[in-house]
Amino acid sequence: MMKTTTKTHICPNCSEPLNKVNVITMSHHLAYPVCTTIPNDEVFSYCKNPSCELAYFSDTTCYTKDQMQSKQQVFNKTVCFCFGITEDVFLEQVNAGKDKAFFANLDELADTRKCVCKQKNPSGKGCLAVFKQLHSMVSASAH
């Protein structure tokens, strides 16, 4: 555990914006015994940059990605932690013109398999918004 200050909600290591995250999400992703050291009275954020070594931050405390049990998935740029879909797999689907089928399959998987993104994703967010953002970036660069 490292000490730092992140009042600006910007990662002090890579300067990427941070997403707020619940302590319960952190406790599912930090490895034991680190997960037992999370202060319950602090507001934490998550650095989603897979190249950054830092993961969770409060105004006084931070944890590294090496302290996460899900660190390999983070380093592999996993977007959907429920079904193990990485950014690369998604981009392959988009580049092959299968983006509509991908989104339909993702909707079906989420419905039938009871997706639990907010617990499985270390950012505490669902993957659909990330996929849509990636899709927009790819579409914009294609034009």
Segment 33-68, tens digit of pLDDT: 999 999 989 999 999 888 899 999 888 898 999 999
Confidence band (pLDDT; 50, 70, 90) for 4? Answer: very low
Above 60 in pLDDT, residue 2? Answer: no
Contact 133, 123 (CB under 8 A): no
Instruction: Please state the pTM of the whole predicted model.
Output: 0.76
Percentage of the chain lying above the pLDDT 90 cut:
41
Domain boundaries, the chain: 19-71, 76-142
Assign domain 19-71 to its CATH architecture.
Single Sheet (2.20)
C-alpha distances in angstroms, 143 versus 121, 139, 140?
31, 7, 6
